[in-house]
Structure 1
Amino acid sequence: MPDLALIPLSALTGWLDYILANPGDFATMLRSHVTMVFIAEFIAIAVAVPAGIAATRNPTISTIVMNTGAIAQTLPALGVIALSFAYLGIGMRPAILAMTIYALLPMLKNTVAGIENIDESKVRAGRGMGMTMWERLRRIELPLALPVIFAGIRTSTVLCVGVAYLGAFIGAGGLGDLVTRGLSTVDTSLMLAGAIPGALLVLFFDQFFKYLESYVTPEGVAVQQQTDDITA
Protein backbone atom coordinates (compact mmCIF):
# COMPACT_ATOMS: atom_id res chain seq x y z
CA MET A 1 0.00 0.00 0.00
CA PRO A 2 1.51 3.39 -0.96
CA ASP A 3 2.70 5.70 1.79
CA LEU A 4 0.32 8.67 1.84
CA ALA A 5 3.20 10.82 3.04
CA LEU A 6 4.87 10.30 -0.35
CA ILE A 7 1.80 11.51 -2.29
CA PRO A 8 1.87 15.24 -3.05
CA LEU A 9 -0.68 17.24 -1.08
CA SER A 10 -2.07 18.67 -4.31
CA ALA A 11 -2.86 15.15 -5.53
CA LEU A 12 -4.84 14.33 -2.39
CA THR A 13 -7.27 17.10 -3.26
CA GLY A 14 -6.65 17.25 -7.02
CA TRP A 15 -8.62 14.06 -7.69
CA LEU A 16 -11.79 15.75 -6.52
CA ASP A 17 -10.97 18.88 -8.52
CA TYR A 18 -10.67 16.73 -11.64
CA ILE A 19 -14.07 15.08 -11.04
CA LEU A 20 -15.75 18.43 -10.41
CA ALA A 21 -14.14 19.88 -13.54
CA ASN A 22 -15.13 16.89 -15.72
CA PRO A 23 -18.47 15.65 -14.35
CA GLY A 24 -19.69 14.32 -17.70
CA ASP A 25 -16.62 12.19 -18.41
CA PHE A 26 -16.52 10.91 -14.84
CA ALA A 27 -20.23 10.02 -14.89
CA THR A 28 -19.73 8.05 -18.13
CA MET A 29 -16.81 6.08 -16.64
CA LEU A 30 -18.67 5.41 -13.39
CA ARG A 31 -21.75 4.27 -15.31
CA SER A 32 -19.65 1.89 -17.43
CA HIS A 33 -18.00 0.50 -14.30
CA VAL A 34 -21.30 -0.13 -12.51
CA THR A 35 -22.89 -1.55 -15.68
CA MET A 36 -20.14 -4.16 -16.02
CA VAL A 37 -20.50 -5.13 -12.36
CA PHE A 38 -24.28 -5.52 -12.58
CA ILE A 39 -24.21 -7.55 -15.80
CA ALA A 40 -21.50 -9.87 -14.46
CA GLU A 41 -23.35 -10.33 -11.17
CA PHE A 42 -26.65 -11.08 -12.93
CA ILE A 43 -25.03 -13.76 -15.11
CA ALA A 44 -23.13 -15.23 -12.15
CA ILE A 45 -26.30 -15.43 -10.03
CA ALA A 46 -28.20 -17.09 -12.89
CA VAL A 47 -25.45 -19.73 -13.17
CA ALA A 48 -24.16 -20.18 -9.62
CA VAL A 49 -27.40 -20.39 -7.62
CA PRO A 50 -29.01 -23.18 -9.73
CA ALA A 51 -25.64 -24.97 -9.88
CA GLY A 52 -25.29 -24.69 -6.11
CA ILE A 53 -28.79 -26.09 -5.61
CA ALA A 54 -28.02 -28.99 -7.95
CA ALA A 55 -24.79 -29.64 -6.02
CA THR A 56 -26.75 -30.18 -2.80
CA ARG A 57 -28.85 -32.86 -4.50
CA ASN A 58 -26.08 -35.05 -5.89
CA PRO A 59 -22.54 -35.70 -4.55
CA THR A 60 -21.12 -36.21 -8.04
CA ILE A 61 -22.57 -32.93 -9.27
CA SER A 62 -21.28 -31.27 -6.08
CA THR A 63 -17.72 -32.41 -6.80
CA ILE A 64 -17.87 -31.24 -10.41
CA VAL A 65 -19.48 -27.88 -9.59
CA MET A 66 -17.21 -26.99 -6.67
CA ASN A 67 -14.03 -28.04 -8.49
CA THR A 68 -15.05 -26.05 -11.55
CA GLY A 69 -15.72 -23.01 -9.38
CA ALA A 70 -12.38 -23.37 -7.62
CA ILE A 71 -10.52 -23.63 -10.93
CA ALA A 72 -12.35 -20.57 -12.27
CA GLN A 73 -11.28 -18.59 -9.20
CA THR A 74 -7.59 -19.38 -9.81
CA LEU A 75 -7.61 -18.12 -13.41
CA PRO A 76 -5.91 -14.70 -13.65
CA ALA A 77 -8.50 -12.12 -14.67
CA LEU A 78 -6.10 -10.36 -17.03
CA GLY A 79 -5.33 -13.71 -18.67
CA VAL A 80 -9.03 -14.39 -19.24
CA ILE A 81 -9.44 -10.96 -20.78
CA ALA A 82 -6.41 -11.47 -23.02
CA LEU A 83 -7.56 -14.93 -24.21
CA SER A 84 -11.16 -13.89 -24.82
CA PHE A 85 -10.14 -10.67 -26.55
CA ALA A 86 -9.52 -12.53 -29.84
CA TYR A 87 -13.06 -13.98 -29.83
CA LEU A 88 -15.10 -11.27 -28.14
CA GLY A 89 -13.26 -8.21 -29.44
CA ILE A 90 -12.65 -5.00 -27.57
CA GLY A 91 -15.19 -3.50 -25.20
CA MET A 92 -17.07 -4.73 -22.16
CA ARG A 93 -17.62 -8.36 -23.10
CA PRO A 94 -14.15 -9.75 -22.26
CA ALA A 95 -14.15 -7.83 -18.98
CA ILE A 96 -17.64 -9.04 -18.09
CA LEU A 97 -16.57 -12.64 -18.81
CA ALA A 98 -13.61 -12.33 -16.44
CA MET A 99 -15.77 -10.72 -13.75
CA THR A 100 -18.43 -13.42 -14.09
CA ILE A 101 -15.84 -16.17 -13.68
CA TYR A 102 -14.49 -14.52 -10.53
CA ALA A 103 -17.99 -14.07 -9.09
CA LEU A 104 -18.98 -17.73 -9.42
CA LEU A 105 -17.09 -19.40 -6.55
CA PRO A 106 -18.32 -17.23 -3.63
CA MET A 107 -21.92 -17.68 -4.80
CA LEU A 108 -21.50 -21.41 -5.36
CA LYS A 109 -19.92 -21.99 -1.94
CA ASN A 110 -22.51 -19.90 -0.11
CA THR A 111 -25.47 -21.45 -1.92
CA VAL A 112 -24.26 -24.94 -1.03
CA ALA A 113 -23.39 -23.95 2.55
CA GLY A 114 -26.68 -22.11 3.05
CA ILE A 115 -28.79 -25.10 2.00
CA GLU A 116 -26.69 -27.83 3.63
CA ASN A 117 -26.58 -26.05 7.00
CA ILE A 118 -30.35 -25.81 7.35
CA ASP A 119 -31.71 -27.61 10.39
CA GLU A 120 -32.65 -31.07 9.15
CA SER A 121 -35.74 -31.11 11.39
CA LYS A 122 -37.28 -28.30 9.32
CA VAL A 123 -36.77 -30.26 6.12
CA ARG A 124 -38.20 -33.40 7.70
CA ALA A 125 -41.22 -31.41 8.88
CA GLY A 126 -41.87 -30.27 5.32
CA ARG A 127 -41.49 -33.82 4.08
CA GLY A 128 -43.93 -34.99 6.76
CA MET A 129 -46.46 -32.41 5.55
CA GLY A 130 -46.36 -34.03 2.12
CA MET A 131 -44.28 -31.35 0.37
CA THR A 132 -42.47 -32.36 -2.79
CA MET A 133 -38.74 -31.74 -3.18
CA TRP A 134 -39.38 -28.53 -5.14
CA GLU A 135 -41.94 -27.30 -2.61
CA ARG A 136 -39.45 -27.87 0.23
CA LEU A 137 -36.81 -26.03 -1.75
CA ARG A 138 -39.07 -23.08 -2.51
CA ARG A 139 -40.85 -22.76 0.83
CA ILE A 140 -38.24 -23.93 3.35
CA GLU A 141 -34.68 -24.30 2.07
CA LEU A 142 -34.26 -21.23 -0.13
CA PRO A 143 -35.87 -18.75 2.32
CA LEU A 144 -33.63 -20.03 5.14
CA ALA A 145 -30.54 -20.09 2.91
CA LEU A 146 -31.10 -16.62 1.40
CA PRO A 147 -29.01 -14.72 4.01
CA VAL A 148 -26.00 -16.93 3.29
CA ILE A 149 -26.55 -16.69 -0.47
CA PHE A 150 -26.70 -12.90 -0.23
CA ALA A 151 -23.44 -12.94 1.71
CA GLY A 152 -21.86 -14.70 -1.29
CA ILE A 153 -23.33 -12.13 -3.67
CA ARG A 154 -21.94 -9.40 -1.43
CA THR A 155 -18.45 -10.91 -1.57
CA SER A 156 -18.52 -11.46 -5.33
CA THR A 157 -19.73 -7.91 -5.99
CA VAL A 158 -16.74 -6.49 -4.14
CA LEU A 159 -14.46 -8.73 -6.24
CA CYS A 160 -16.15 -7.59 -9.46
CA VAL A 161 -15.63 -3.90 -8.67
CA GLY A 162 -11.88 -4.56 -8.51
CA VAL A 163 -11.71 -6.77 -11.61
CA ALA A 164 -13.67 -4.17 -13.62
CA TYR A 165 -10.61 -1.91 -13.53
CA LEU A 166 -8.84 -4.32 -15.90
CA GLY A 167 -11.44 -3.55 -18.55
CA ALA A 168 -9.56 -0.33 -19.28
CA PHE A 169 -6.89 -2.38 -21.11
CA ILE A 170 -9.35 -3.54 -23.79
CA GLY A 171 -11.49 -0.44 -24.19
CA ALA A 172 -14.28 -1.44 -21.81
CA GLY A 173 -14.28 1.93 -20.09
CA GLY A 174 -14.92 2.29 -16.40
CA LEU A 175 -12.89 3.93 -13.66
CA GLY A 176 -9.84 2.00 -14.83
CA ASP A 177 -9.52 4.51 -17.68
CA LEU A 178 -8.60 7.20 -15.17
CA VAL A 179 -6.07 4.95 -13.45
CA THR A 180 -4.33 3.93 -16.68
CA ARG A 181 -4.36 7.52 -17.93
CA GLY A 182 -2.83 8.66 -14.68
CA LEU A 183 -0.15 5.96 -14.90
CA SER A 184 0.78 6.88 -18.47
CA THR A 185 1.06 10.58 -17.63
CA VAL A 186 2.45 10.07 -14.11
CA ASP A 187 -0.48 12.08 -12.77
CA THR A 188 -1.32 11.00 -9.22
CA SER A 189 -4.49 13.09 -9.17
CA LEU A 190 -5.89 11.16 -12.14
CA MET A 191 -5.00 7.82 -10.58
CA LEU A 192 -6.73 8.79 -7.33
CA ALA A 193 -9.74 10.10 -9.29
CA GLY A 194 -10.21 6.53 -10.51
CA ALA A 195 -9.14 4.66 -7.38
CA ILE A 196 -10.95 6.54 -4.60
CA PRO A 197 -14.45 6.41 -6.20
CA GLY A 198 -13.87 2.69 -6.72
CA ALA A 199 -13.10 2.25 -3.02
CA LEU A 200 -16.24 4.21 -2.15
CA LEU A 201 -18.21 2.04 -4.57
CA VAL A 202 -16.99 -1.08 -2.74
CA LEU A 203 -18.13 0.37 0.58
CA PHE A 204 -21.52 1.26 -0.88
CA PHE A 205 -22.15 -2.19 -2.36
CA ASP A 206 -20.89 -3.88 0.80
CA GLN A 207 -23.34 -1.94 2.98
CA PHE A 208 -26.17 -2.25 0.46
CA PHE A 209 -25.95 -6.04 0.30
CA LYS A 210 -25.41 -6.19 4.05
CA TYR A 211 -28.77 -4.43 4.40
CA LEU A 212 -30.41 -6.79 1.90
CA GLU A 213 -28.91 -9.74 3.74
CA SER A 214 -30.50 -8.60 7.00
CA TYR A 215 -33.77 -7.79 5.20
CA VAL A 216 -34.18 -11.28 3.70
CA THR A 217 -33.22 -13.07 6.92
CA PRO A 218 -36.34 -14.71 8.37
CA GLU A 219 -37.26 -13.28 11.76
CA GLY A 220 -36.80 -16.56 13.60
CA VAL A 221 -33.34 -17.04 12.09
CA ALA A 222 -32.32 -13.49 13.02
CA VAL A 223 -33.43 -14.02 16.62
CA GLN A 224 -31.52 -17.31 16.79
CA GLN A 225 -28.37 -15.63 15.41
CA GLN A 226 -28.61 -12.88 18.02
CA THR A 227 -29.03 -15.50 20.75
CA ASP A 228 -25.99 -17.39 19.49
CA ASP A 229 -23.93 -14.19 19.45
CA ILE A 230 -24.92 -13.41 23.05
CA THR A 231 -24.17 -16.88 24.36
CA ALA A 232 -20.93 -17.28 22.37
Structure 2
Amino acid sequence: MDYLTIFTERSGDLINALLEHILISSIAVILGCILAIPLGIFLTKTSIRWVHSVAFTITNIFQTIPSLALLAMLIPLLGIGLVPAITALFLYSLLPILRNTYAAFESIDPEIIQSAKGMGYSSMQRLFQIELPIAMPYIMSGIRLTTIYIISWATLATLIGAGGLGQLIIGGLGVYNKPLIFAAAVISMVLALITDFILGVVEKKIFDRK
Protein backbone atom coordinates (compact mmCIF):
# COMPACT_ATOMS: atom_id res chain seq x y z
CA MET A 1 0.00 0.00 0.00
CA ASP A 2 1.61 3.29 -1.10
CA TYR A 3 0.75 6.96 -0.89
CA LEU A 4 -1.44 6.94 -4.02
CA THR A 5 -3.28 3.63 -3.84
CA ILE A 6 -4.33 4.38 -0.26
CA PHE A 7 -6.90 6.83 -1.61
CA THR A 8 -8.65 4.04 -3.55
CA GLU A 9 -8.04 1.11 -1.20
CA ARG A 10 -9.34 2.99 1.83
CA SER A 11 -11.75 5.26 -0.02
CA GLY A 12 -14.75 4.14 2.03
CA ASP A 13 -13.04 4.92 5.34
CA LEU A 14 -11.72 8.22 4.03
CA ILE A 15 -15.12 9.35 2.75
CA ASN A 16 -16.87 8.39 6.00
CA ALA A 17 -14.24 10.20 8.04
CA LEU A 18 -14.52 13.25 5.78
CA LEU A 19 -18.31 13.37 6.19
CA GLU A 20 -17.97 13.04 9.96
CA HIS A 21 -15.41 15.84 9.95
CA ILE A 22 -17.71 18.10 7.92
CA LEU A 23 -20.65 17.30 10.21
CA ILE A 24 -18.74 18.05 13.40
CA SER A 25 -17.28 21.29 12.04
CA SER A 26 -20.53 22.50 10.49
CA ILE A 27 -22.62 21.97 13.60
CA ALA A 28 -20.06 23.76 15.77
CA VAL A 29 -19.86 26.78 13.44
CA ILE A 30 -23.64 26.98 12.98
CA LEU A 31 -24.21 26.89 16.73
CA GLY A 32 -21.51 29.52 17.16
CA CYS A 33 -23.27 31.78 14.64
CA ILE A 34 -26.66 31.24 16.29
CA LEU A 35 -25.31 32.50 19.62
CA ALA A 36 -22.48 34.91 18.74
CA ILE A 37 -24.16 36.97 16.00
CA PRO A 38 -27.29 37.92 18.02
CA LEU A 39 -25.11 38.48 21.07
CA GLY A 40 -22.78 40.76 19.12
CA ILE A 41 -25.76 42.77 17.85
CA PHE A 42 -27.20 42.98 21.37
CA LEU A 43 -23.91 44.28 22.76
CA THR A 44 -23.94 47.16 20.26
CA LYS A 45 -27.47 48.08 21.32
CA THR A 46 -27.05 48.01 25.08
CA SER A 47 -25.38 50.74 27.08
CA ILE A 48 -24.63 48.47 30.06
CA ARG A 49 -20.86 48.34 29.89
CA TRP A 50 -20.35 45.42 32.28
CA VAL A 51 -22.33 43.19 29.90
CA HIS A 52 -19.70 43.85 27.22
CA SER A 53 -16.90 42.98 29.61
CA VAL A 54 -18.52 39.77 30.80
CA ALA A 55 -19.36 38.55 27.29
CA PHE A 56 -15.92 39.18 25.83
CA THR A 57 -14.10 37.93 28.92
CA ILE A 58 -15.95 34.61 28.93
CA THR A 59 -15.53 34.00 25.20
CA ASN A 60 -11.88 35.00 25.41
CA ILE A 61 -11.32 32.48 28.21
CA PHE A 62 -12.70 29.68 26.05
CA GLN A 63 -10.45 30.79 23.18
CA THR A 64 -7.29 30.74 25.28
CA ILE A 65 -7.79 27.31 26.86
CA PRO A 66 -5.66 24.74 24.98
CA SER A 67 -7.88 22.48 22.87
CA LEU A 68 -6.76 19.25 24.51
CA ALA A 69 -7.31 20.73 27.96
CA LEU A 70 -10.82 21.86 27.05
CA LEU A 71 -11.69 18.45 25.62
CA ALA A 72 -10.39 16.78 28.77
CA MET A 73 -12.41 19.15 30.97
CA LEU A 74 -15.61 18.28 29.13
CA ILE A 75 -15.23 14.50 29.50
CA PRO A 76 -16.42 14.39 33.15
CA LEU A 77 -19.39 16.58 32.24
CA LEU A 78 -20.46 15.22 28.84
CA GLY A 79 -18.60 11.94 28.44
CA ILE A 80 -16.97 11.08 25.13
CA GLY A 81 -18.19 11.21 21.55
CA LEU A 82 -19.77 13.87 19.36
CA VAL A 83 -21.43 15.96 22.07
CA PRO A 84 -18.31 17.06 23.98
CA ALA A 85 -16.35 17.50 20.75
CA ILE A 86 -19.00 19.73 19.18
CA THR A 87 -19.38 21.61 22.46
CA ALA A 88 -15.65 22.34 22.64
CA LEU A 89 -15.50 23.48 19.01
CA PHE A 90 -18.64 25.58 19.51
CA LEU A 91 -17.00 27.36 22.45
CA TYR A 92 -13.91 28.01 20.33
CA SER A 93 -16.03 29.51 17.55
CA LEU A 94 -17.69 32.17 19.71
CA LEU A 95 -14.99 34.83 20.10
CA PRO A 96 -14.02 35.53 16.45
CA ILE A 97 -17.66 35.60 15.30
CA LEU A 98 -18.71 37.75 18.26
CA ARG A 99 -15.77 40.13 17.81
CA ASN A 100 -16.39 40.62 14.07
CA THR A 101 -20.13 41.08 14.54
CA TYR A 102 -19.62 43.64 17.28
CA ALA A 103 -16.97 45.54 15.30
CA ALA A 104 -19.11 45.49 12.16
CA PHE A 105 -22.14 47.06 13.83
CA GLU A 106 -20.01 49.53 15.78
CA SER A 107 -18.41 50.75 12.54
CA ILE A 108 -21.73 51.66 10.90
CA ASP A 109 -21.95 55.41 10.32
CA PRO A 110 -24.40 56.88 12.89
CA GLU A 111 -25.66 59.29 10.23
CA ILE A 112 -27.02 56.34 8.27
CA ILE A 113 -28.99 55.22 11.31
CA GLN A 114 -30.27 58.74 11.93
CA SER A 115 -31.36 59.04 8.29
CA ALA A 116 -33.26 55.77 8.57
CA LYS A 117 -34.96 56.98 11.72
CA GLY A 118 -35.92 60.20 9.94
CA MET A 119 -37.48 58.13 7.14
CA GLY A 120 -39.66 56.33 9.66
CA TYR A 121 -37.86 52.99 9.84
CA SER A 122 -38.59 50.99 12.98
CA SER A 123 -35.73 49.49 14.98
CA MET A 124 -36.31 46.08 13.41
CA GLN A 125 -36.50 47.55 9.91
CA ARG A 126 -33.23 49.41 10.50
CA LEU A 127 -31.62 46.21 11.76
CA PHE A 128 -32.63 43.90 8.91
CA GLN A 129 -32.81 46.33 6.00
CA ILE A 130 -29.88 48.64 6.71
CA GLU A 131 -27.53 47.60 9.51
CA LEU A 132 -27.29 43.87 8.86
CA PRO A 133 -26.61 44.21 5.09
CA ILE A 134 -23.84 46.72 5.85
CA ALA A 135 -22.33 44.53 8.57
CA MET A 136 -22.68 41.19 6.79
CA PRO A 137 -19.35 41.26 4.87
CA TYR A 138 -17.45 41.71 8.11
CA ILE A 139 -19.52 39.06 9.86
CA MET A 140 -18.79 36.69 6.97
CA SER A 141 -15.10 37.39 7.39
CA GLY A 142 -15.33 36.22 10.99
CA ILE A 143 -17.31 33.13 10.03
CA ARG A 144 -14.77 32.29 7.32
CA LEU A 145 -11.82 32.54 9.68
CA THR A 146 -13.64 30.59 12.39
CA THR A 147 -14.61 27.78 10.03
CA ILE A 148 -11.01 27.19 8.95
CA TYR A 149 -9.89 27.09 12.57
CA ILE A 150 -12.66 24.67 13.51
CA ILE A 151 -11.81 22.30 10.65
CA SER A 152 -8.23 22.23 11.92
CA TRP A 153 -9.15 21.78 15.57
CA ALA A 154 -11.71 19.08 14.73
CA THR A 155 -8.89 16.65 14.00
CA LEU A 156 -8.29 16.50 17.76
CA ALA A 157 -11.91 15.52 18.42
CA THR A 158 -11.04 11.90 17.72
CA LEU A 159 -9.17 11.80 21.04
CA ILE A 160 -12.54 11.71 22.79
CA GLY A 161 -14.19 9.37 20.30
CA ALA A 162 -15.83 11.88 17.98
CA GLY A 163 -14.50 10.42 14.73
CA GLY A 164 -13.57 12.50 11.71
CA LEU A 165 -10.31 12.58 9.79
CA GLY A 166 -8.39 12.77 13.04
CA GLN A 167 -9.47 9.21 13.78
CA LEU A 168 -7.59 7.96 10.72
CA ILE A 169 -4.57 10.09 11.57
CA ILE A 170 -4.40 8.80 15.15
CA GLY A 171 -5.14 5.25 13.98
CA GLY A 172 -2.40 5.51 11.39
CA LEU A 173 0.05 6.74 14.00
CA GLY A 174 -0.84 3.79 16.23
CA VAL A 175 0.18 1.24 13.59
CA TYR A 176 2.70 3.49 11.83
CA ASN A 177 0.68 3.45 8.62
CA LYS A 178 2.30 6.41 6.89
CA PRO A 179 0.14 6.32 3.72
CA LEU A 180 -3.05 6.44 5.84
CA ILE A 181 -1.71 9.33 7.90
CA PHE A 182 -0.74 11.13 4.70
CA ALA A 183 -4.13 10.57 3.03
CA ALA A 184 -6.16 11.76 6.02
CA ALA A 185 -3.92 14.79 6.51
CA VAL A 186 -4.12 15.74 2.82
CA ILE A 187 -7.92 15.44 2.78
CA SER A 188 -8.13 17.59 5.91
CA MET A 189 -5.92 20.22 4.28
CA VAL A 190 -7.90 20.13 1.02
CA LEU A 191 -11.17 20.43 2.96
CA ALA A 192 -9.88 23.56 4.68
CA LEU A 193 -8.70 25.07 1.38
CA ILE A 194 -11.96 24.31 -0.45
CA THR A 195 -14.03 25.66 2.43
CA ASP A 196 -11.93 28.82 2.54
CA PHE A 197 -12.36 29.25 -1.23
CA ILE A 198 -16.14 28.77 -1.12
CA LEU A 199 -16.61 31.14 1.81
CA GLY A 200 -14.27 33.61 0.11
CA VAL A 201 -16.50 33.59 -3.00
CA VAL A 202 -19.59 34.10 -0.85
CA GLU A 203 -17.87 36.92 1.05
CA LYS A 204 -16.83 38.60 -2.23
CA LYS A 205 -20.37 38.40 -3.59
CA ILE A 206 -21.67 40.04 -0.43
CA PHE A 207 -19.11 42.83 -0.77
CA ASP A 208 -20.01 43.31 -4.46
CA ARG A 209 -23.68 43.53 -3.56
CA LYS A 210 -23.11 46.41 -1.13
Structure 1 residue 38: deviation in Å? 0.7
Give the aligned CA root-mean-square deviation in angstroms: 1.5
Which residue is 1:6 aligned to?
A: none
Matched, 1:22 2:10: yes
Which residue is 2:142 aligned to?
A: 152
Which residue is 1:230 aligned to?
A: none
Deviations 1:91-126 (A, max 9, x none): 111111111111111100110111111122211111
Shifted more, 89-98 versus 108-117: the winner is 89-98
Which residue is 1:162 aligned to?
A: 152
For the residue of structure 2 that corresponds to 1:19, the secondary structure is helix
Compute the TM-score of the two structures, normalised by the length of structure 1.
0.85
Percentage identity across paired residues of the two chains: 35
Structure 1 residue 163: deviation in Å? 1.1
Aligned mates of 2:55, 2:119 — CA distance in 1: 31
The 5 Å alignment of 1:132-151 reads 132-151=122-141
Which residue is 2:19 aligned to?
A: 31
Aligned mates of 1:22, 1:32 — CA distance in 2: 16
Structure 1 residue 199: deviation in Å? 0.7
Aligned mates of 1:15, 1:66 — CA distance in 2: 45
Question: Are the equivalent residues in 2 in contact too, given 1:143–1:218 (CA < 8 A)?
Answer: no
| Runs (5+) with no aligned partner, structure 2 | none
Structure 1 residue 42: deviation in Å? 1.0
For 1:65, give the aligned amino acid.
A
Matched, 1:198 2:184: no
Deviations 1:46-88 (A, max 9, x none): 0100110011112332222222221110012211211212232
Which residue is 1:118 aligned to?
A: 108
Structure 1 residue 218: deviation in Å? 5.6
Instruction: Label 1:218 to 1:129 Cα distance change in 2 as closer, same or farther (>3 A).
Output: farther
Structure 1 residue 196: deviation in Å? 0.9
Compute the TM-score of the two structures, normalised by the length of structure 2.
0.93
Aligned mates of 1:93, 1:79 — CA distance in 2: 16
Which residue is 1:61 aligned to?
A: 51
Which residue is 2:205 aligned to?
A: 215
Question: Are the equivalent residues in 2 in contact too, given 1:80–1:94 (CA < 8 A)?
Answer: no
Instruction: Indicate the structure whose relative CO is greater, using CA pairs within 8 Å and at least 6 residues apart.
Output: 2
The 5 Å alignment of 1:56-95 reads 56-58=44-46, 59-95=49-85
Matched, 1:46 2:37: no
Question: Are the equivalent residues in 2 in contact too, given 1:54–1:61 (CA < 8 A)?
Answer: no
Aligned mates of 1:28, 1:184 — CA distance in 2: 20
In the TM superposition, structure 1's runs of 4+ consecutive aligned residues that sit over 3 Å from their partners are: none
Shifted more, 88-97 versus 34-43: the winner is 88-97
Aligned mates of 1:26, 1:45 — CA distance in 2: 28
| Runs (5+) with no aligned partner, structure 1 | 1-9, 222-232
1:184 to 174, 177, 181: 174
Aligned mates of 2:84, 2:106 — CA distance in 1: 34
Aligned mates of 1:144, 1:18 — CA distance in 2: 47
For 2:128, give the aligned amino acid.
R
